[in-house]
Amino acid sequence: MIIKELLDIISELNFWHKDQDAGIEREELNEILKIIDMPKIAVIILGVRRAGKTYLTRQILREKIKKIKKEQTLYVNFEDNRLEPYLNKNILDDIYETYRYYINKKNFAYLILDEIHNIEGWEKWVRIMLEKNENVKIIITGSGSRILTPKLASVLTGRKITYNLFPLSFKDFLKFKKINREHIIKKDRNSLLREYIEFGSIPLVVLTESNEQKKYFLGEVYNDIITKDIMFRYRLREESVLKKVSYFVINSFSKYVSIRKIRNSLKTIMNVSVSPSTLSYYLEYFEKSFLFIFLPIFSYKIKDQMQYPRKVYCIDTGLINAIIPKFSENIGNFYENIVAVELRRKNKEIYYWKNENGEVDFIVKDGLKIKELIQVCYDIKDEKTKKREIKSLMDASKELKCNNLMVITDDYGKEENIDNKRIKYITLWEWLLR
């Protein structure tokens, strides 16, 4: 149905009505532009709350209208409260038909459906549009837990490609701060890296001046993830229990977690009893909402990967500090968390490695081959620490037959040869910018 009032609502956020603020261009833009025009495929952009999905889609449209007319783009935000009176099973048809009638009758169009999870049955509508070969490219955004449904997997099998958007990389963090990294003195490097770790890299936080406002905003983001993306999404009743579990998990960042450990700690410290199956679901929900990354042990046996504890990392270190402000106490753990997120941002398949004598923080795997072994050590200058870290690295190198060895440090960069193996030391600053 053609509804003129719908056009009045959606026009405000479209380039054909007025110029839109697309924000600061991110390095992910070039990556997603490479996949955006794959035929007969819907592109789904996923990510944690406030990662910048909306601005990224605007940047996509801004690039496209350099070659096509503005009228060949349509952006719809389904969290716009003004759309509530029209939210029924026909809303997608109504919007599309109204757009075609008033703005773009038959030319190709890029259609952005932002936060589409609010619309019941959207998956089927997208599937039908793709099968009808409509003259349109569909791009969808949403927070992971709210859009990754069983229906999505079944209805759009073979018809979608997903792109995971993380908070800002360190390169983009510097760009948002309007800093030329080629002209930064060492003192400023340390303060900038500290800010990146302490307050994280959620775009709005990076652009906020006041530290108090940063902390407040981060707390709001964390609470919204727990309540809206998890509790409401999965219709959970025990809000206090969910929050206690999330608190325990975030307090364990860069450490091992298991259902047994969480269950015992909750019972001992908080006098809360939670069943193993409930905890298993909670951890799954945390991961689907992109709040936490759970890293398995490396093993060629699936049984080992399932039995051994996983290491947990938070998607943004600013969220950690907003909930448990322990930056100065756990700087080494924060460095490790930063590396884990960066490896995932680069779409690396990663594990940790462990034997009876020590562990290696990250095993980078490509197909069937182990490509790189990475240790993260804040202060490698301490001889005892260095000896322990290198021994684990050498043990893993021998077992996994990988000689690409790296140690990421705070302030130590060189190369050493040990037992005919070359070990490269690199500062976190340099590693993040390489």
Is pLDDT at 45 greater than 80 in this prediction?
A: yes
Other Cβ atoms less than 10 A from the Cβ of 157: the count is 9
CA distances (Å), origin 133, targets 80, 90, 129, 142, 383: 28, 20, 6, 24, 65
Q: What is the pLDDT of residue 248?
A: 94
Longest dimension (CA), the chain: 75
- As a 3-state breakdown, the chain gives helix, strand, coil percent values, each rounded to 5, of 50, 20, 30
What is the distance between the alpha carbons of residues 60 and 108, in angstroms, rounded to a whole number?
Answer: 15
Q: What is the pLDDT of residue 222?
A: 97
Residue 35 lies in a domain: yes
E strand map for 285-356: 292-295, 310-314, 349-354
Q: Summarize pLDDT for 285-294 with one digit per residue, the tens.
A: 999 999 999 9
**Cβ–Cβ under 8 Å, residues 298 and 310:** no
Q: Which of 271, 292, 327 is the last residue before a domain boundary? A: 327
CATH number for the domain harbouring residue 152: 3.40.50.300
The reply to whether 185 and 215 lie within a common domain is yes
Domain that holds residue 245: 168-283+312-327
Q: Which of 122, 148, 165 is the last residue before a domain boundary? A: 165
The reply to whether 101 and 119 lie within a common domain is yes
pTM of the model: 0.94
Q: Summarize pLDDT for 52-77 with one digit per residue, the tens.
A: 999 999 999 999 999 999 999 999 99
What share of the chain in percent tops pLDDT 90? Answer: 80
- Domain count within the chain: 2
The reply to whether 176 and 68 lie within a common domain is no
Q: Summarize pLDDT for 83-103 with one digit per residue, the tens.
A: 999 988 899 999 999 999 999
Q: Summarize pLDDT for 138-158 with one digit per residue, the tens.
A: 999 987 766 777 667 778 888
Residue 433 lies in a domain: no
Q: Which residues does residue 406 pair with via DSSP β-bridges, in sequence order?
A: 374, 424
Phi, psi torsion values for 376, nearest 5 degrees: -115, 120
Residue 357 lies in a domain: no
Q: Summarize pLDDT for 281-317 with one digit per residue, the tens.
A: 999 999 999 999 999 999 988 887 788 999 999 999 9
What is the distance between the alpha carbons of residues 167 and 176, in angstroms, rounded to a whole number?
Answer: 12
Q: Summarize pLDDT for 12-27 with one digit per residue, the tens.
A: 999 999 999 999 999 9
Q: Summarize pLDDT for 224-259 with one digit per residue, the tens.
A: 999 999 999 899 988 999 999 999 999 999 999 999
Q: What is the pLDDT of residue 148?
A: 72
**Cβ–Cβ under 8 Å, residues 271 and 244:** no
What share of the chain in percent tops pLDDT 70? Answer: 98
Q: Summarize pLDDT for 352-373 with one digit per residue, the tens.
A: 999 999 999 999 999 999 999 9
The reply to whether 12 and 139 lie within a common domain is yes
The reply to whether 123 and 254 lie within a common domain is no
Q: Which of 165, 186, 213 is the last residue before a domain boundary? A: 165
Closest alpha carbon to 380 in 414, 356, 409: 409
The reply to whether 187 and 160 lie within a common domain is no
Phi, psi torsion values for 141, nearest 5 degrees: -125, 155
The reply to whether 195 and 226 lie within a common domain is yes
Give me the helices (H) in 156-210, please.
170-176, 186-199, 203-206
Q: Please, what sign has the CA dihedral across residues 382, 388, 392, 397? A: positive
Q: What is the pLDDT of residue 261?
A: 93
Q: Summarize pLDDT for 323-353 with one digit per residue, the tens.
A: 998 777 789 999 999 999 999 999 999 999 9
The reply to whether 80 and 124 lie within a common domain is yes
